[in-house]
Structure 1
Amino acid sequence: MKDFLKIFQNRNFTKLFFAGFTSTMGSIIGVTAFMFYLLDKFGEQPIYATMAELMYSLPTLAVFFIVGVLADRMDRQKIALYCDWLCAALSLALMGAIWLDWMPLVFAILFLRSAVGKFFFPADQAMVQGILSKDEYAISAGLNQMVGSMFMLFGNMIAIFIYWSVGIQGAIAFDLVTYIISALLITSMKIKEDVRLPNGNHKFKDIKVGMVWKDFAGGFAYIKSSKLLLSLILGFFMFGVVNGGLSVMPAFIMKYKLAPDNYEQMMIWMGIVFGISVLVGSVLCSMAAKKIKLSTAIIWGLFGGGLSLAACALAENVWVFLGITAITGLSIPLVNIGIGGWLPKIVDPKMMGRVQGWITPLMMLSQTVTLMLIGLFFPKILTVESLFYVVGGSLVIVGLFYMMTLPKYEKEEIDAEKKVAAAEKIPV
């Protein structure tokens, strides 16, 4: 607990943390409320709810090649700031499109807002790396995991409550306010120039196609140069499958199998159970992160989460489903804290943006394909049970892959670092 309190003594981290918190809250509340809005309006056509989630993942494929490059070449603080202001403006435009009830325009604005939002996270994470020390990375990852669990705990509840109280317009207005708060927090930060501009000062006119491609390719070359980093990032492709499935599966199993008459209320209970279990798991895993290897934590988390998700398909009533969901919630923090605490340690601060520029599109590619397949084949060909089997199996597959690669390459990197340290002590 002392470590958590100490890290908040860093004012820049505190402001950046809450800026990320409010920015993420805005997107989650709005998207969740919009999914319920579409399920109510087009109850017999679940493809609309799937399309709403697609508007969150698909934009990555349009901007992935430049996101990481900008985070490394441009002012990271300004990138995060402009993302928030643009998302606030697009939220206002989205309210107008919903009022017009013109669905093509609604989905177009959702797509554009999501595309702009994709620039925030790489810039945010790159600044965190410069603001904190290496010993604090795992603590930061634990905090982010706890925030994620709070969103799981309260996100659905807040979204449904706002949707019931003031409708979809109120939920989007909530988005707008959170983006403004995030922008104000980013503005108030005082960050050193070498953190904001680790590769020197560049202007938009300097960012040419040749530079973008060179930097993007350089990010891949950097990843490929480390077997450990490459193995870690390859697993993110399957994480995209998981994210794509989980974005719609809970609502689908409640509406079309377990609680068709009161699925919204049951989604609230699921959010409470899952959120509490992830919150408890986050605290326990943050404490365990200092005592076990991060690779071990990741592997255990993947097996536990994968097997429990697959078991959700066997649930025949809501209460059994909630019980299995709690087990999944306890397992997921092991993965997130492990990866979140490990990446900053093994990635050069000057390359973090370009590394994130490869991670996000890799995940979003598989997430987009997964959502497209669900939209096309559910429920005519794919059953809701099969979705849980596929997603749970994906986590188990990644767990097996990591079990064969991470411990081996981690040992190789540690041995290489020891050799370099020993060589530096030898007098010339």
Structure 2
Amino acid sequence: MIRHEYSRIAETMYEDRLENGLGVFVFSKPEFRKSYAFFATRYGGMDTRFQLDGQWLDTPMGIAHYLEHKMFDMPGGGNALQTLSATGASPNAFTSTAITGYHFECTEGFWENLRTLLSFVSVPYFTKESVEKEQGIIGQEIRMIEDRPGWQAYHRLLEALYEHHPVRNSVAGSVESIAQITAETLYHCHEAFYTPSNMVLCVAGNVDPEQVCAMAREILPKEAKPAIPRDHGSNEPSQVYCQEDVLTMEVAAPLLQIGVKLQAAHDGPAQLRQRLLGDLACDALVGSSSPLYNKLYAEGLINGSFYMGYVDYPGCAFLMAGGESKDPTAVRDAILAEATRLAKDGIDEAMFQRLKKSAYGAYVRSLNSFENLCVEQAQGYFANQDPWTFPEIYDALTAQEAAAFLAQWVKPEQTALVVIRPEGTK
């Protein structure tokens, strides 16, 4: 295994790439009793069209999330969640737009739990009856999600920003889409994406890295498979698909969601650099210590719920701001005007250095979480980047670059506004 020493963040990581293509990363934590394991596949809500055995398959929206739910089923009626919990572990899983991950944390029985994790994720077990039963459970979950104003604002923003990219599709799907899912389709998706060469295993704790690799070699398939071709839709226009969308729901005050459509950087260091630069540009534009934030707050146009940040997925990237406001249009216009001013006059150097220091400190503090450490490593691995080079990237970022970033992207034609208004208002 390769040993990496990251002195600036005080982390030691061991890396290996197994013969079957699985990436393995182990963070050495000899001073801790707890251990954490994260087993993930580069497969998420956006991957609904792909090629398997030379044939293109179109799968229902929400199938990656549905598959995550069904992966815990075991032959004989067992459930992997119950098996892990019985040993004192805390297991869970999630599906995002780009990845699906399964994980557990424990203080005892790590090797038994790791064996369970690797086994149930790599060996699917579905029946027609269990798949149909899950439709009712997930259907109820979808209805609950769709009743949340925050989810509606976010989902409608993606639909406003993107015309073709499947990021605009709900990760959970719809009641209608999941009704089309069958056991056969789930097996196809597992065969395509739950293969070691499309997966990564990240561990943090006082564990032997070589033993982690040995167990993965023992349990998982032995051969690597070629990458699965995916279709993420037609080429996207540079401008947003829809500039404004309004919905009424049961909210106490208007809820706004603003998006700025960017051109995504290619995988690798450039993607990580753009993400860090984008977040700093957002902080300078309307972060909690910026002049614009204080002005909008003093005028009662935003409150403490307001935020703005950078978001990216494979093939797409955008800035996103949101919160409550009595005048969402005024907030959007103020952000556009401030971006124009900063692009012309520049960003105050002293403020930018404070923002860099604050962002760097927050990033380092987040690594105290074993979960954050492992999930960041997994996402970086799938994007062909080393996430722990962020200190050097921060060192090189300048106020001039952040101002140029705002000048390039924060424009009316790149911006979409979604408003959730209280029922009974115009």
- TM bin (shorter chain): under 0.3
Bigger fraction of residues in strand: 2
**TM-score normalised by L of structure 2:** 0.26
Q: Which has the higher contact order (CA 8 A, sep 6+)?
A: 1
Bigger fraction of residues in helix: 1
**TM-score normalised by L of structure 1:** 0.26
